[in-house]
Amino acid sequence: MGYMLKVLDFSATWCPPCQAMVPVIEELKEELQDKVIFEEIDVDENRGEAQEFTIMGVPTFVLMKDGEELDRKTGRVTKEEFKAWVEKYLR
């Protein structure tokens, strides 16, 4: 079975809210591993990709399905909010 959803996690090592999201993302990776793939993208190392997605601030999470952007969230969010946001698109 292929992954239905992909979350692009645009962040930076110097960004405190990004670092605060790391344990949240790690937990969600485990909980949603059969349904969602998470891809971490460091905006400093991947400027082209950050520009392609018009990333204005970090952390920004872009929800993708079949190569199409469904939605995005910017900033720190709770695990519950993040999970509810992703699960909305799993139906």
Q: Is 5 a catalytic residue?
A: no
Of 3, 6, 12, 15, which one is the catalytic site residue?
A: 15
Annotated catalytic residue within 5, 7, 18, 58: 18
The strand pair at 5-11 and 68-74 is best described as unpaired
- Active-site annotation holds for 18: yes
Residues acting as catalytic residues: 15, 18
